[in-house]
Chain A
Amino acid sequence: MNPLLEQFLSEARDFLQGIGEKLMQLENNPGNAELMTELFRFVHTLKGNSGLFEFPEMTRVLHAGEDLMDAVRHGQVEFSKELADRLLDSMDFVGLLCDEIEANGNIGAAHAADSARLAASLRQLIVKVESPAAVAAVVAASLLATLAETHAGQGEGERLPLVKIPETVRMDAYRHACKGAALHWLDYAPAEECFFQGDDPFFQARNTPGILWGGITTRQPWPKLAEPDAYRCVLDFHVLSTAPREELDEYYRYMPDQVRMIPVPPLSLALPDGKHNGGPMYEEFVSNAIGLLGKGRLEGLSRAARTLLDLSRPDLWLSSALRWLLLVMELEPENQDAFGALIKSLRHLIPPQWAELQPGLPGKTLEPESTLTPAEAEALTALLAVQRNILTLPIEASWQLGRIKAVASALSGCLKASGNLAALPGLEAATAMALNEAVSTPLLVWLDGALQERQQAATAETQTVQADAITRTSPNTEGQSKFGRRSEDVVAGSKSIKVDQVKIDRLMNLIGEMVVSKNALPYLAGRAETVFGVRELSREIKAQYAVINRIAEEMQDAIMQVSMMPVSFVFQRFPRLVRDTSRKLGKEVNLVLEGEETEADKNIIESLGDPLVHIVRNSLDHGFELPEVRLASGKPAVGTLTIRATQESDRVVIEISDDGKGIDPKVIKQKAYEKGIIDEAALERISDQEAVNLVFASGFSTVEVVSDLSGRGVGMDVVKTAVERVNGTVALESAKGKGTRIRLSLPLSMAVTNVMIVESDGQVFGMPMDSVVETVRVPRSAIRTIKNSLVTVLRGCIVPLKSINTLLEIDAPPIANAEDELAILVVRLGDESVGLLVDDFRETVDIILKPLSGVLAGLSAYSGSALMGDGSVLMILNVKEML
């Protein structure tokens, strides 16, 4: 993807995000003009950006959105929830298009219909205040635009002015057509205001693919020289093209309603044209030729035609007809009807009625200017007219002389560009005089003189411009207000850069290796002393190690800060989610977000997204009551959902609380019992608090009717699993009738893991400290066998025991110490504790856990590996998978 497109997509996403946020804020604060202006600017800029690319589907929707917001900010349309809904839908659509562009580099044609529908639905809101008829007109117009393929008039009975095309061009076209090219006649009627829409009709027409010929006609007779409005396009363009229809459709896809494409049958180009001189005098040739044709003697016919052609003046109608006859005979030798028609046309000098096609209005052919290219000359004319226009504006203050200087700069640029260096001294003199007297008249006089020299047509244009300008010399009030927009439109600019995640990951990896390899220094110091006996050096190495250690730790902290991001990243989706969901359910919920600036590692934040969405949906679906129910139970009709993030030492805590109906522990207990999650004994024993936490048990769902929102067969157990995957915990508290609070506790960062090293059969393994409950040594006699399983009793609880050697398929018995005690590492597995028989315990270390890759990735007993200070590799055990 090219960088410009990447830039566009990244900026577009920011804008979409911004638009969503502003819309939410506007809903709570509909009269806020500042928000409205900001919102308009976002949509406006986004539309402008999209216009740089070939994304008509996107631009169409954004354009409609922009017009709508413009109407809203000018008070023509009232801001409503419905309006916000439609705008949000449209922005979602744009977001979807962005995704597609990112994936495929373009937008599939399938979106055209959606785009038209959304644009029409937005435009509908704009005209609502007007009249129903206008609505219909707008909707119809936007639908028409999408049905670009169904152009009017497909040739039948169409009278094309083909005869205006020079014969050689027509013959050329005919040759192309006989080789299989498609021939199309294009009528391109640009909108009058097309110059203001960024169209350049002349350029557009001239660059039509496969163009053989082009012509221009005026829509109405030319007005007097002084009258034309240079800013309106009153010309129609005509093009004869050999390009395939699809290519033409593609080329004119932005203006399908302004273009008619009419297929041209090749023979209809065979229109003899020229001086009539004579008339039925060719009767002899005609009857002779028809005779030859009847006998199939084409060679003779061709010879006769050639002879007559040689004898005739080339500009005669006769000659033209003969040339066509010879060409058609050459290219379509089997089409004898065509020869006959051409021959017979000589009798009355009336072109053959190929398919009722007849010459129509006279066309005006293009006359390119001599020195500059037509586009350049056109631009130059327009620029000079504009400069003259500027000079007619009154000078009200001395600083406005800057405007005159700028005009002089522009004019000198135009002179140099068009190679008219001789006029430069005159311009300089006029400028000096104008500045001296603080009036624009001298420059205006000079410019008029220059223009007169240039050409009459140009003068005519400037006069209209002047007339236009005089009517608008009063100060523009809108301009004043825009100028004063400074304070209200300040956007907080943050000094931040976007960095690819891959780069940060690389930094994290590098610092991980650095932290580990610095640990080799104490080892080295030890060797210096014990092996080489240099105690002095050993001390120096240790001193240096302290320095490196401090820097490395600080660096690690700094790098971790880089990948920290605020929880607002996940929170920002909730205003929309809560709004849409609660409206769908007919509930009224006010969302309160707190502590959005709390930071945590990016991976942690990202893993939070889905569980949070699930919790919030659950709460909206099952937690909150309908407004009337709330009122009946003495609560405010509008419920409050609070999502609060806080940092507690090295953990991020997220609390989601609602003031809904809460969870009834009795119902939960009953349900859990029915589903076999708890037994009868537990039913009696467990506390209410324990009961409500049963919702996290897998396969638990209390609502009978599966709802559209949350009950899709996944329960809160999914939340629990997702949170535990990143070493987090989840707890639920609920008071019946008062509400529910769910508390997620997550580590700040996943980068560093604290592990305990254990030894077994001469190998070392790492066990994450999160799952370690305790380490104990028990005498061999305290270990019993129940039903083929080893168990021991710790503080009155039975703890099942597993040998780590057995689990890892190491063929060795656990080794006991001198007192015949076995080492047991008690780990947490869900809500249970399990004892692992190991040979010995070692220290705990901080490691950077790296997942196993390649073939080793299949070893589920390990969650990864870590590099130790002495260069050895430590395998980290995955308790859950192992058991």
Chain B
Amino acid sequence: MKRILIVDDAATVRMYHRNILETAGYAVDEAVNGIEALEKSLQEPFDLYVVDVNMPKLDGYGFLRELRSQDILQAPAIMVSTEAESNDHKQAYAAGANDYLIKPVKPEQLLIHVKLLIGETFT
């Protein structure tokens, strides 16, 4: 089963994303900030990351930069943000994100992007 890490400081958002992804059959883990996400990724890399921008301790950009500088399997990352940071999507790509979605992400939209990036064939 493909493993996805949700990195977000808001418990509600984590639960929302987890519900969508678990229903679709992915194994989901959570982290509340960049530091925790990094620790978890180093233990065992994930197949995909769904990352919030604004978080305490280490934000989404910081986490992705750290992640990309590790010598581990580099899985795609979807950065999820609200429109307040809509102009920052280039910055997200520079930090190492592969995709940029805007909150609230609709379930269908999230699943399409996850499926495309994680490489699961559509049936």
Q: Which of B90, B104, B116 contacts A198 (CB 8 A)?
A: B104
Complex Cα distance, B93 from A781, in Å, reads: 99
Q: Is A4 an interface residue (CB 8 A)?
A: yes
Complex Cα distance, B92 from A403, in Å, reads: 11
Q: Which of B69, B74, B117 contacts A414 (CB 8 A)?
A: B117
What residues of A have a CB within 8 angstroms of the CB of B104 in the complex?
A: 48, 51-52, 198
Bitwise, B66-105 to A at CB < 8 A (1) or not (0) is 0111100111110000111010101101111011101111
Q: Is A200 an interface residue (CB 8 A)?
A: yes
Minimum CB distance partner of B100 in chain A: A386
Q: Is B120 an interface residue (CB 8 A)?
A: yes
Minimum CB distance partner of B10 in chain A: A45
B120 contacts A417, C-beta separation under 8 Å:
yes
What residues of B have a CB within 8 angstroms of the CB of A48 in the complex?
A: 10, 13, 82, 103-104
Stretch at the interface among A312-320, A485-493, A790-798: A485-493
State the Cβ distance, A16 to closest chain B Cβ, in Å.
14
Chain A residues 151 to 206 lying within 8 A of chain B, measured CB to CB, are 193, 195-198, 200, 203
A402 contacts B74, C-beta separation under 8 Å:
yes
Complex Cα distance, B52 from A52, in Å, reads: 14
Complex Cα distance, B95 from A475, in Å, reads: 10
Chain A residues 35 to 50 lying within 8 A of chain B, measured CB to CB, are 41, 44-45, 47-49
Complex Cα distance, B13 from A399, in Å, reads: 30
Instruction: Using A402-B67, A416-B119, A417-B121 as known contacts, say yes or no to A52 and B16 having CB atoms under 8 A apart.
Output: yes
Stretch at the interface among A77-85, A373-381, A657-665, A736-744: A373-381
Interface residues on A, range: 35 or more
Q: Which of A195, A393, A402, A415 contacts B69 (CB 8 A)?
A: A402
Complex Cα distance, B81 from A44, in Å, reads: 10
Q: Is B109 an interface residue (CB 8 A)?
A: yes
Q: Is A383 an interface residue (CB 8 A)?
A: yes
Q: Is A831 an interface residue (CB 8 A)?
A: no
A386 contacts B54, C-beta separation under 8 Å:
no
Number of A-B contacts (CB under 8 A): 182
Chain A residues 385 to 430 lying within 8 A of chain B, measured CB to CB, are 386-387, 389-390, 393, 399-400, 402-403, 405-410, 412-419
What residues of B have a CB within 8 angstroms of the CB of A198 in the complex?
A: 83, 102-106
Instruction: Using A66-B84, A372-B122, A386-B100 as known contacts, say yes or no to A485 and B117 having CB atoms under 8 A apart.
Output: no
What residues of B have a CB within 8 angstroms of the CB of A387 in the complex?
A: 98
B61 contacts A483, C-beta separation under 8 Å:
yes
B103 contacts A390, C-beta separation under 8 Å:
no
Minimum CB distance partner of B87 in chain A: A196
State the Cβ distance, B87 to closest chain A Cβ, in Å.
8
A406 contacts B108, C-beta separation under 8 Å:
no
B69 contacts A44, C-beta separation under 8 Å:
no
A417 contacts B56, C-beta separation under 8 Å:
no
Minimum CB distance partner of B95 in chain A: A479
B68 contacts A406, C-beta separation under 8 Å:
yes
What residues of B have a CB within 8 angstroms of the CB of A405 in the complex?
A: 68, 73-74
Complex Cα distance, B17 from A479, in Å, reads: 25
B116 contacts A383, C-beta separation under 8 Å:
yes
A196 contacts B83, C-beta separation under 8 Å:
yes
Q: Is A437 an interface residue (CB 8 A)?
A: no
Q: Is B42 an interface residue (CB 8 A)?
A: no
Q: Is B58 an interface residue (CB 8 A)?
A: yes
What residues of A have a CB within 8 angstroms of the CB of B84 in the complex?
A: 44, 66-67, 70
Q: Is B24 an interface residue (CB 8 A)?
A: no
Q: Which of B12, B94, B116 contacts A4 (CB 8 A)?
A: B12
Q: Which of B15, B56, B103 contacts A490 (CB 8 A)?
A: B56
Complex Cα distance, B15 from A349, in Å, reads: 62
Q: Is A326 an interface residue (CB 8 A)?
A: no
Instruction: Using A7-B12, A45-B54, A196-B83 as known contacts, say yes or no to A386 and B99 having CB atoms under 8 A apart.
Output: yes
Complex Cα distance, B117 from A491, in Å, reads: 33
What residues of B have a CB within 8 angstroms of the CB of A676 in the complex?
A: none
What residues of B have a CB within 8 angstroms of the CB of A193 in the complex?
A: 86
What residues of A have a CB within 8 angstroms of the CB of B103 in the complex?
A: 48, 51-52, 198
Complex Cα distance, B12 from A52, in Å, reads: 9
Tally of chain B residues near chain A (CB < 8 A): 56
Complex Cα distance, B118 from A479, in Å, reads: 27
A393 contacts B94, C-beta separation under 8 Å:
yes
B59 contacts A485, C-beta separation under 8 Å:
yes
Complex Cα distance, B62 from A461, in Å, reads: 29
B74 contacts A482, C-beta separation under 8 Å:
no
Bitwise, B104-116 to A at CB < 8 A (1) or not (0) is 1110110011011
What residues of A have a CB within 8 angstroms of the CB of B83 in the complex?
A: 196-198
Q: Is A505 an interface residue (CB 8 A)?
A: no
Q: Which of B59, B96, B109, B118 contacts A403 (CB 8 A)?
A: B96
B117 contacts A486, C-beta separation under 8 Å:
no
Complex Cα distance, B112 from A472, in Å, reads: 28
What residues of A have a CB within 8 angstroms of the CB of B74 in the complex?
A: 402-403, 405-406, 408-409
State the Cβ distance, B60 to closest chain A Cβ, in Å.
9
A386 contacts B93, C-beta separation under 8 Å:
yes
Q: Is A252 an interface residue (CB 8 A)?
A: no
Chain B residues 27 to 82 lying within 8 A of chain A, measured CB to CB, are 54, 56-59, 61-62, 65, 67-70, 73-77, 82
What residues of B have a CB within 8 angstroms of the CB of A379 in the complex?
A: 109, 112-113, 116
A400 contacts B68, C-beta separation under 8 Å:
yes
B61 contacts A479, C-beta separation under 8 Å:
yes
Chain A residues 1 to 42 lying within 8 A of chain B, measured CB to CB, are 3-4, 7-8, 11-12, 41
A476 contacts B12, C-beta separation under 8 Å:
no
What residues of B have a CB within 8 angstroms of the CB of A200 in the complex?
A: 106, 109
B116 contacts A390, C-beta separation under 8 Å:
no
Complex Cα distance, B116 from A467, in Å, reads: 25
What residues of B have a CB within 8 angstroms of the CB of A489 in the complex?
A: 56-57
Instruction: Using A48-B103, A375-B108, A413-B116 as known contacts, say yes or no to A7 and B11 having CB atoms under 8 A apart.
Output: yes
- Most chain A CB inside 10 Å of its own CB: which residue of B77, B98, B108: B98
What residues of B have a CB within 8 angstroms of the CB of A490 in the complex?
A: 56-57
Q: Is A478 an interface residue (CB 8 A)?
A: yes
Q: Which of B65, B90, B106, B112 contacts A483 (CB 8 A)?
A: B65
Q: Is A143 an interface residue (CB 8 A)?
A: no
Bitwise, A469-509 to B at CB < 8 A (1) or not (0) is 10010011011001101100111000000000000000000
B82 contacts A417, C-beta separation under 8 Å:
no
State the Cβ distance, B88 to closest chain A Cβ, in Å.
8
B75 contacts A406, C-beta separation under 8 Å:
yes
A196 contacts B76, C-beta separation under 8 Å:
no
What residues of A have a CB within 8 angstroms of the CB of B109 in the complex?
A: 200, 203, 375, 379
Minimum CB distance partner of B86 in chain A: A196
Instruction: Using A410-B76, A482-B61 as known contacts, say yes or no to A417 and B119 having CB atoms under 8 A apart.
Output: yes
What residues of A have a CB within 8 angstroms of the CB of B93 in the complex?
A: 386, 389-390, 393
A417 contacts B115, C-beta separation under 8 Å:
yes
A413 contacts B117, C-beta separation under 8 Å:
yes
Complex Cα distance, B9 from A419, in Å, reads: 36
A196 contacts B116, C-beta separation under 8 Å:
no
Q: Which of B16, B61, B117 contacts A383 (CB 8 A)?
A: B117
Q: Which of B13, B70, B102 contacts A196 (CB 8 A)?
A: B102
Instruction: Using A47-B82, A52-B13, A491-B56 as known contacts, say yes or no to A479 and B91 having CB atoms under 8 A apart.
Output: yes
B62 contacts A486, C-beta separation under 8 Å:
yes
What residues of B have a CB within 8 angstroms of the CB of A203 in the complex?
A: 106, 108-109
State the Cβ distance, B27 to closest chain A Cβ, in Å.
17
Instruction: Using A4-B12, A48-B103 as known contacts, say yes or no to A417 and B75 having CB atoms under 8 A apart.
Output: no
A406 contacts B96, C-beta separation under 8 Å:
yes
Complex Cα distance, B93 from A469, in Å, reads: 10
Complex Cα distance, B109 from A383, in Å, reads: 12
- Which B residues have a C-beta under 8 Å from some C-beta of A? 9-13, 15-16, 19, 54, 56-59, 61-62, 65, 67-70, 73-77, 82-84, 86, 88, 90-91, 93-96, 98-100, 102-106, 108-109, 112-113, 115-122
12 A–B contacts, CB within 8 A, in A order: A4-B16, A41-B56, A44-B54, A48-B82, A196-B83, A203-B108, A375-B108, A407-B98, A414-B116, A415-B119, A486-B58, A491-B57
4 other A-B residue contacts (CB within 8 Å) besides A399-B68, A406-B74: A41-B56, A197-B83, A482-B59, A490-B56
